[in-house]
Amino acid sequence: MSSQRSPLAPQAFPDLPAIGGVTLRIARAGYKDWDRCDLTLATLSPDTAVAGVTTQSRCPSPEVEWCRKALVLGQARALVVNAGNANAFTGRHGREAVETITAAVAREIGCAPSDVFVASTGVIGVPLPTDKAEAGLAAAFSADPCGWEEAAATIMTTDTFAKAAHASAVVGGQRVELVGIVKGSGMIAPDMATMLGFIFTDAAVEAEFLQAALRSANAESFSCITVDSDTSTSDTVLAFATGAAGNRPLSSEDDDGADAFAAALADLCRQLAHLVVRDGEGASKFITVAVEGAESDASAHRIALSIANSPLVKTAIAGEDANWGRVVMAVGKAGEPAERDRLSIRFGATQVARDGLAVPDYDETPVAAHLKDAEVEIGVDLGLGDGRATVWTCDLTHGYIAINADYRS
């Protein structure tokens, strides 16, 4: 957790409603030598449905593997999040740590271990100490319940601010609430979910529909952000639906209010994803990359990511340099259909290149002014079809190097 707050951070933590059926507690397990809480425990009412998306990394953590198996059952009673130790690439010791945590929670609240979900974040390659985990859980169970801000702060690692968001919907005449907390600052790249994110709703939603809605929301939010093109071993987003609102359970997109719930979930995920980018390690600019005119939406998405992940593009934005040639480079290297003489590029509202050439009488003054803003937009039109996509990223500064050069210390 950095002591210097991101310049792109919101002014204040949002005012969030309580979610019926969710009780939050935090404790200090001491996974690192720091003076802060680093274990978050959420206990959930019986019959809570769960859905999730996890990293596509071929080197996932034991926590990710555990969650994948538990998600098949579609029900949850608790969530444990450890900060400071990713417990990834830790072999048998890592698996035993997850089994110890889930068994301890299951004994305490009287459920099956498979109803307990676990996520860990931090240094890779260091086994999670089970004695600290058990002591942290005991402290959490004896602690008073806490609020969203405390829980959001406890799951942080290199984050500079606690991240949370809220959305609501009307389902069958009943107002339902959704609250999400998220952590992520570096090792952020879209390959499913790109950090740890936890969503809680009092809506009654059957697990299968919740999974479909979360998968769709993820595709347009968490999978459309990148800070540094690196996908974590631990990426996990989980959604828990307690049913405390009392609505008739949603089971398909044809149910009354299903579309409103799905839209609220998508909105919440987008808010959370943007917060991660705004806390990108060393970031000073929030960058929107909008691509249109591609042969397909998938092609547009890959081109947008090529631009957003380019160190040359990101450093140019950091230096407020209107070097649109680097955008051309990033389009060309994406490996997607593109024709040089149809390509158009803009910065903000100013067209800088069209049909493979700089626009006649191009004036860089408005572009330079746009690049001084904290929010920058790059637009690309390939002129080939109807495919479009939007990706969000941040600039690359000296701060990113400083944070990651000293990460383990």
Query: Tell me: the pLDDT tens digits for 377-397?
Result: 999 999 999 999 999 999 999
Q: Tens digit of pLDDT for each residue in 289-330?
A: 999 999 999 999 999 999 999 999 999 999 999 999 999 999
Distance, CA of 390 to CA of 286 (rounded, Å): 13
**What pLDDT is attached to residue 409?**
45
Phi-psi domain of 336 (left: phi exceeds 0; alpha: psi -120 through 50; beta: other): beta
Point out the residues of the chain with pLDDT beneath 50. 409
Superfamily of domain 286-405: ArgJ beta chain, C-terminal domain (3.10.20.340)
Distance, CA of 357 to CA of 360 (rounded, Å): 8
Cα dihedral angle (70, 75, 80, 85), rounded to 10 degrees? 20
Active-site residue, selected from the candidate residues 158, 194, 242, 350: 194
Specify the pTM: 0.94
**What pLDDT is attached to residue 103?**
98
Taking the CA of residue 375 as centre, how many other CA atoms within 13 Å lie in the half-sphere pointing to its CB?
7
Phi–psi pair at 314, nearest 5 degrees: -65, -35
Residues 6+ apart with CB under 8 A from 316: 322, 323, 326
**H, E, C per residue of 215-278:** HHHHHCCHHHECCCCCCCCCCEEEEEECCCCCCCCECCCCCCCHHHHHHHHHHHHHHHHHHHHH
**What pLDDT is attached to residue 135?**
97
CATH topology of domain 22-278: L-amino peptidase D-ALA esterase/amidase (3.60.70)
Question: Which residues contribute to the annotated binding site for substrate?
Answer: 157, 183, 194, 281, 404, 409
**What pLDDT is attached to residue 281?**
86
Question: Which residues contribute to the annotated binding site?
Answer: 157, 183, 194, 281, 404, 409
Domain boundaries, the chain: 22-278, 286-405
Structural contact between residues 378 and 306, judged by C-beta atoms closer than 8 angstroms: no
Is 194 part of the annotated catalytic residue set?
Answer: yes
Distance, CA of 100 to CA of 92 (rounded, Å): 12
**What pLDDT is attached to residue 36?**
95
Lookup: tokens for 42? 């959420």
Identity of the amino acid at 293: G
**What pLDDT is attached to residue 193?**
59
